[in-house]
Structure 1
Amino acid sequence: MKKLFLFRHAQTEGYSFSNPDSKRKLTEKGIQDAMKLGQFLYKENFEVDKIVSSIAIRAQTTARLLADEMKYPPSKIQIEEDLYQCSETDLFHFINQIEDDSINNLFLVNHNPAVSALIYLLTEKEYGFLSPCSLVIFSFDVENWAEIIRGSGMIEEIRVPETDFEVSTI
């Protein structure tokens, strides 16, 4: 059994010519939301085997705050340049190429529209767009990540800041 914890990065400051997209930082609300989500996950004893983030500052900061709250060493966060401005297909291929079968609980922090589109690719069900700092937990009845195919994911739960990260199921 493999579990994918798919996160959209937390709320960020706006884009401007003096503040390029990849350098945008989290707002105070974004920082608080990411910390709160990490605390919830820690209290509920979710295990994390690997955290992967895009190279964008907002995704890295979200990943680091989650790691801190879950007592996961931030130095072990894997930063992937190819995940910045990628498509849902790119994210899907990245997941399929994980060769370490000891990773059962993968935390992936990335961006819309790719994360929201990945939900459809993995479940073949419409969900809509994830708001900042949202989490979707998928389970896959497979032994390794390469076995995951389109439509094979089951959503176990979704957590969004608008509901104070209360569990909602689909």
Structure 2
Amino acid sequence: MLTQMTKVLTLLRHGESEVGLGQKEDFSRKLTSTGKLKLERLTNVLATRSLEYSAVVSSTATRTRKTTEIVIKAIQVKECTFLDALYLADVQTIVDLCGNLPNECSKVMIVGHNPGLSAFLSFLTGEYQPSLQPGMMAMIDFDVDAWEVAITRGMGNLVEILQ
């Protein structure tokens, strides 16, 4: 008899960033010193857990790249990818991305932006309007063996939120 695998998806909103002026400058916004400090505290918690991820997929914006660089120091990651499509991605874009993840990847982290990331969390868990603040992380698990099944409305179980 085959045992059912569990998929784990972690959603991480980038750390607190500088105020931006206009779309062009928004992409290049950097983390504030407070944002970096909060992410360092988060990594201290993550480091005690010996977490291993098959993949981390991040937006290419400056603030998400830096958030990813800080956080992956505290976890083990087989593959880290930066995708332009995650920059200010809407729910459908994130659904498409996650639904096409290789099934061999059992634990994946997505580093992105609001409002799409919080809306995606709501879509997966059925939780009413959760709001991921800068530097906040949500861990969701799915009792399925295929991402295309997992990434369906209400299929996820919100396990934990860290900040």
Asked if these proteins are the same fold (TM beyond 0.5), I'd say yes
Q: What amino acid sits opposite 2:97 in the alignment?
A: F
1:42 aligns with: 47
- Structure 1 gaps, min length 5: 161-170
Percent of pairs with identical residues = 27
Partners of 2:125 and 2:27 lie apart in 1 by 29
Q: 1:97 to 1:16 in 2, by over 3 A?
A: same
Secondary structure in 1 aligned to 2:134?
coil
Alignment partner, residue 84 of structure 1: 87
8 Å contact from structure 2 (residues 13, 136) kept in 1: yes
| TM-score with structure 2 setting the length | 0.89
Q: Measure the CA separation in 1 of the matches of 2:24 and 2:100.
A: 33
- Choose 133-142 or 85-94, whichever is displaced more: 85-94
1:152 aligns with 2:147: no
Which amino acid counterpart does residue 140 of structure 1 have in structure 2?
F
Q: CA deviation at 1:49?
A: 1.6
SS, match of residue 68 in structure 1:
coil
SS for the counterpart of 1:106 is strand
- State the SS of the aligned residue for 1:130: coil
Instruction: Find out whether 1:128 has 2:133 as its counterpart.
Output: no
CA contact (8 A) 1:123 1:152 kept: yes
Residue identity in the other structure for 2:144: V
| Equivalent runs, 1:19-168 vs 2, <5 Å | 20-72=25-77, 76-99=79-102, 101-148=103-150, 149-160=152-163
The two structures have a TM-score, normalised by structure 1, of 0.86
Contact 1:123 1:155 in 2 (8 A): yes
With over 3 angstroms needed to count, the CA separation of the structure-2 counterparts of 1:16 and 1:44, relative to structure 1, is same
Q: Which runs of 4+ in 1 moved over 6 A?
A: none
Paired AA for residue 103 in structure 1: C
- For residues 31 and 24 of structure 2, the distance between their equivalents in structure 1, rounded to whole angstroms, comes to 12
What is the CA deviation profile of residues 83-109 of structure 1, one whole-angstrom value per residue up to 9, with x for unaligned ones? 11210121111100112x221110110
